[in-house]
Each structure stands twice: as structure tokens, then as C-alpha cells.
């Protein structure tokens, strides 16, 4: 945005082969892969052949083939146990109710207790998303209906640039570095390996520590804590603490420079995970926290202030695709465009091409996930209003071609000029900069999208099925 202020994988679903090593006890598992799949249950840990991080595999080729087919053949309107009517209709604001058959089917299986895993949403975007306002409104509505699967993705060690996560306590002490140093970049930074969230955190001194605390309401029972790390030197190490237990992650010659995942379990309710540098600047690439004693909805908030489609495309493709594949999302939301609206001479065709390129990467990682393109909200000023409208048109056209749902943020607010109206309401919903919204404005938009998602879901017919007949997770 403008600068200012559980386990559920089965063998046939894995995208690549991972190596697993028991680090401290049966409660800790470390996995390593350039495109690492979700780790197996602890009691199923077994050694696998190591793969080079950038070497394509037959599995990757198969995934790429499936992704290409998905791009050529949009998802059918009827999937599994959720059946769509002939049309879902329009929202009160004039958007089409999102048609997301695979996502709705996943929710249907969860609601009818036929699905034995979380329904996962991965939401990428700019500062609107980083604020975790509209994402929290969607998260809250879906979790109230379908169950709370946990807080999902959290940046560990990041407390600057206004970063926050609803219902999560973030702490950091000592010196920490961010990469990119400017938070976002439209060209590759270093080797481009920045984790799922596009941000790398490194402790700068031996006194640097970081903690993430999750409250009991968001994690009422047992939890899984999955920390992505990368050790670059032979003497690099990291100390992790959870529920009074200390775990040390040491560098290994055959995993240097590769993303590793350390998974730990907590008894709950709630919990706090802390890290400190053992030696030589270990890299932290994000933490995922999920419930393991219940199933529900998990929404990963992956927003960065100032981000554009080009920002996500600057990340190393293989590494990012691998991290997204590990999450196995049922829905991926792309919510960029406000920063692009600063380009008054923006070329719609080029912007649409970037949308398609990022969706292509998403489908390499998650060929069975639905996609929702969230068009930018309105922005004050006639020139900006017009550019936002052009961006929405370009994104809508790309969504139709790709088979993605599209939700126009500007239209949801009331069309061109709506930011000015929102900013002059009493109390105001739009910010004084006429770019961002106040928290109540983000909450309102998030509640509107949640309403539209539930409208789409409820418009379909959910056919029951006995659990013994369900071959899926």
C-alpha cells in the first residue's frame, strides 16, 4: 500500500518428496523440501530421498500439467456434494455472488462432518489485507458457521510497519532485519526465497528474541505450530520454546539454504511460541498455527503494505509455489490493485497479464483450489477513481478467462466517488488519505464479502452422504 502509515496430506496429494528428521522428541518434526508438502503425522515419520531445491521432478511436472489443464478448462459448476443452482444472482451492491464450487463443496463436507480436516483460505494482498480488518471479518463469519481451525499464518519477529494479527500477541526484542528492507519490491531481492508471506526475518544479535501468543479463544485445545526456517551457514542454529520445552534446530550440510519446517504440538488452550538465535542469523519465514483436536476454517492473512501483483511475482517461483502447496488451500484470494492505481497511465492489458501469471503460479501449487480476485476499492480523486475502475475491468476480464470468481471492491463501496462519501460519513468509514479505510470500514467490507460467500454457499444444494462413502479427507 502507499507508504505511510491435521495434518491432512495423503500420498497422492503430495507435490514433492520431503525428508523428515526427528529433532528432539516425538513432539517435534523437521521437514525440508524446496516444494515441501505438509508433514505426515509424527508417528508416520520416515526418511525420504532428498531432492535438490530447484530440480524439477516428475511430480512437479505432473502438477504443472494439471495446472495447465485447469487453466484451459475452468472448474465445472457442480462438484462433490455441493450443487449450484442455474445462477447465484447479484449482490445488493451489484457484484455477482461468487461462484466457488470447490470451496463451497469443502465447506459442505466440513459442515456435514464428512471432511476430517480444515478448510483453508490463503489471502494475498496489500496494506488493506495487512491490516487484517476485512480478512478478520470474513474469518469470524466463516468460523462462526463452520468452526474455528486456528489463526493460520503469522509472521514471527515482525512488529514494525503496522503489522498486526487479530487475536494474536506479537512481541520482538533486540535487533531484527527485514528482507526486503523496504517491505516490498517489484524486482527480485537476494535469491527471492522469502517464504509464503513474501518476507524474511533475521535476528541481528544474540539478544534478539520473538514470541507469538495465541489466546484460548482462537486455540481452545491442542494445536500444531509449524515454523518455516532456513539456515544458511554450517554453524547456524535456532532455539524454539513452546510450553516450557526447548528445542534446538541445528544446521545440516544437506539442508543448507533450503526451507525447513519445524512442527511442534501444544496441549492448549492457547499458547506462546518463542524463538531466539542460537548462532549465525537463522532466517524465519513464517509460522502457521492450527487446531489439531477439531476441524474448521483457517484463513491465512498475507498482506504487505505497498504490494502489487509484481511484488508477488518477484518472489522465487519454485520456493513460493512449494510453500503454498504445503498449505493445500481450498480458496486463494488475490486482493491487489490500489498501489497500481497510482499509475495513471496503467496499461490494462499488461495488468491483466500479471494477474494471469500469478494465478498460474497459484494453480501450480493448488490446482484444485478455487480462486477469487478481489478488485481494488475506490480511491479519492477523479483520476484515481477512473484508474481504479480500469483496473477492476482488467481484473474482471482476467478472472473470466481464468475461471476465477471476481468481486469488485469499488462497486461494493458504491462505485466511483464512494471513498469520498465513506470518508465524510459520521462516523467516517474512509480514511483521511482517501486511500485506506478506518477499521470499521474494513469490517463493513469484510462483512459484505462474507455475506456474499455465505449467500453463494446457501444458494446451492448440499447432498448428504454417509462418512463411510467419502474417500476424501
Q: CA-to-CA distance for 103 and 82, rounded, in angstroms?
A: 9
The answer on pLDDT for 337 being more than 80 is yes
Residue-level pLDDT at 5: 39
Residue-level pLDDT at 473: 57
Residue-level pLDDT at 228: 97
Residue-level pLDDT at 390: 97
Q: How many helices (H) and strands (E) does the chain have?
A: 11, 21
Residue-level pLDDT at 7: 38
User: H/E element holding 205?
Assistant: none
Same domain? 7 vs 155: yes
Average pLDDT of span 179-195: 96
Residue-level pLDDT at 303: 97
The answer on pLDDT for 204 being more than 50 is yes
State which residues form the domain around 83.
69-149+295-460
Report how many domains make up the chain: 2
Q: Would you say residue 64 lies in a domain? A: no
Which pLDDT tens digit goes with each residue over 23-77?
333 344 454 433 333 333 332 222 233 333 333 333 343 334 444 444 444 444 4
Average pLDDT of span 373-397: 97
Q: What is the CATH number of the domain that holds 212?
A: 2.60.120.1360
Same domain? 430 vs 367: yes
Residue-level pLDDT at 56: 38
Average pLDDT of span 252-261: 87
Same domain? 364 vs 410: yes
Same domain? 162 vs 286: yes
Average pLDDT of span 94-120: 96
Q: Would you say residue 6 lies in a domain? A: yes
Same domain? 83 vs 188: no
Nearest to 161 by CA among 6, 1, 375: 1
Q: CA-to-CA distance for 50 and 18, rounded, in angstroms?
A: 7
Whole-number average pLDDT of the chain: 85
Residue-level pLDDT at 144: 98
Say what the pTM is. 0.83
Domain boundary among 251, 267, 294: 294
The answer on pLDDT for 282 being more than 80 is yes
Question: Best-predicted range by mean pLDDT among 14-18, 266-270, 417-421?
Answer: 417-421
The answer on pLDDT for 333 being more than 80 is yes
The answer on pLDDT for 224 being more than 80 is yes
Average pLDDT of span 12-20: 37
Residue-level pLDDT at 69: 42
Q: Are 195 and 286 in contact (CB under 8 A)?
A: yes
Same domain? 212 vs 116: no
Domain boundary among 294, 312, 347: 294
Q: Are 3 and 308 in contact (CB under 8 A)?
A: no
The answer on pLDDT for 163 being more than 90 is yes
Neighbours of 36 (CB within 10 A): 27
User: H/E element holding 10?
Assistant: none
Same domain? 107 vs 163: no
Q: CA-to-CA distance for 284 and 228, rounded, in angstroms?
A: 6
Same domain? 337 vs 386: yes
Q: Would you say residue 465 lies in a domain? A: no
Q: Would you say residue 61 lies in a domain? A: no
Percent of the chain at pLDDT > 70 equals 81
Q: CA-to-CA distance for 11 and 410, rounded, in angstroms?
A: 43
Average pLDDT of span 312-331: 98
Same domain? 169 vs 201: yes
Average pLDDT of span 456-471: 67
Which pLDDT tens digit goes with each residue over 358-372?
999 999 999 999 999
Q: CA-to-CA distance for 128 and 78, rounded, in angstroms?
A: 33
| Residue of higher predicted confidence among 457 and 68 | 457
Neighbours of 337 (CB within 10 A): 29
- Local confidence band at 464 (pLDDT 50, 70, 90 cut-offs): low
Same domain? 140 vs 162: no
| Residue of higher predicted confidence among 50 and 204 | 204
Residue-level pLDDT at 279: 79
Same domain? 237 vs 248: yes
Burial 122-133 (b: 16+ CB within 10 A, else e): bbbbbbbbbbbb
Residue-level pLDDT at 218: 92
Give whole-number Cα distances, 57 to 15, 52, 64, 71, 365, in Å.
9, 9, 10, 21, 14
Same domain? 83 vs 24: no
Domain boundary among 238, 268, 294: 294
CA dihedral 148, 149, 150, 156 (to 10 degrees): -150
Average pLDDT of span 307-320: 98
Amino acid at each position: 500500500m502507499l507508504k505511510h502509515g491435521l495434518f491432512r496430506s495423503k500420498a497422492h496429494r503430495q507435490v514433492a518428496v520431503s525428508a523428515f528428521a526427528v529433532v528432539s522428541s516425538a513432539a517435534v518434526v523437521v521437514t525440508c523440501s524446496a516444494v515441501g508438502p505438509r508433514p505426515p503425522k509424527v508417528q508416520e515419520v520416515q526418511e525420504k530421498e532428498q531432492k535438490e531445491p530447484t530440480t524439477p521432478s516428475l511430480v512437479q511436472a505432473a502438477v504443472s500439467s494439471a495446472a495447465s489443464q485447469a487453466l484451459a478448462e475452468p472448474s465445472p459448476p457442480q462438484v462433490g456434494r455441493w450443487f449450484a443452482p442455474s445462477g447465484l444472482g447479484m449482490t445488493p451492491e451489484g457484484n455477482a455472488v461468487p461462484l466457488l464450487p470447490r470451496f463451497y463443496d469443502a465447506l459442505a463436507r466440513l459442515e456435514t462432518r464428512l471432511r476430517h480436516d480444515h478448510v483453508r483460505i490463503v489471502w494475498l494482498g496489500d496494506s488493506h489485507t495487512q491490516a487484517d480488518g476485512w480478512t478478520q471479518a470474513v474469518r469470524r463469519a466463516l468460523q462462526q458457521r463452520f468452526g474455528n481451525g486456528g489463526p493460520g499464518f503469522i509472521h514471527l519477529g515482525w512488529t514494525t510497519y503496522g503489522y498486526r494479527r487479530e487475536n494474536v500477541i506479537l512481541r520482538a526484542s533486540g535487533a531484527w532485519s527485514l528482507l526486503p528492507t523496504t517491505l516490498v519490491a517489484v524486482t527480485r531481492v537476494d535469491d527471492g526465497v522469502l517464504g509464503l508471506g513474501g518476507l524474511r526475518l533475521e535476528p541481528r544479535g544474540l539478544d534478539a528474541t520473538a514470541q507469538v501468543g495465541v489466546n484460548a479463544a482462537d486455540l481452545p485445545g491442542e494445536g500444531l505450530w509449524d515454523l518455516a526456517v532456513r539456515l544458511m551457514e554450517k554453524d547456524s542454529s535456532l532455539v524454539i520454546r513452546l510450553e516450557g520445552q526447548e528445542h534446538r534446530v541445528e544446521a545440516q550440510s544437506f539442508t543448507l539454504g533450503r526451507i525447513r519446517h519445524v512442527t511442534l504440538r501444544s496441549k492448549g488452550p492457547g499458547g506462546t511460541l518463542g524463538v531466539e538465535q542460537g548462532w549465525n542469523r537463522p532466517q524465519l519465514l513464517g509460522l502457521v498455527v492450527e487446531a489439531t483436536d477439531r476441524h474448521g476454517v483457517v484463513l491465512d492473512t498475507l498482506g504487505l503494505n505497498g504490494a502489487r501483483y509484481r511484488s508477488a511475482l518477484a518472489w522465487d517461483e519454485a520456493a513460493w509455489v512449494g510453500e503454498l502447496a504445503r498449505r493445500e488451500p481450498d480458496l486463494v484470494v488475490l486482493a491487489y490493485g490500489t498501489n497500481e492505481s497510482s499509475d495513471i497511465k496503467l496499461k490494462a492489458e499488461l495488468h491483466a497479464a500479471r494477474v494471469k501469471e500469478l494465478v498460474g503460479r497459484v494453480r501450480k501449487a493448488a490446482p484444485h483450489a478455487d480462486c477469487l480476485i478481489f478488485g481494488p476499492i475506490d480511491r479519492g480523486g477523479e483520476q484515481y477513481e477512473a484508474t481504479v475502475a480500469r483496473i477492476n475491468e482488467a481484473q474482471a476480464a482476467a478472472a473470466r478467462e481464468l475461471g476465477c470468481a471476481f468481486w469488485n471492491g469499488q462497486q461494493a463501496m458504491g462505485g466511483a466517488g464512494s471513498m469520498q462519501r465513506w470518508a465524510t460519513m459520521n462516523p467516517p468509514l474512509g480514511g483521511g488519505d482517501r486511500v485506506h479505510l478506518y477499521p470499521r470500514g474494513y469490517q463493513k467490507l469484510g462483512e459484505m464479502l462474507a455475506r456474499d460467500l455465505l449467500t453463494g454457499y446457501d444458494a446451492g444444494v448440499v447432498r448428504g452422504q454417509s462418512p463411510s462413502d467419502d474417500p476424501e479427507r
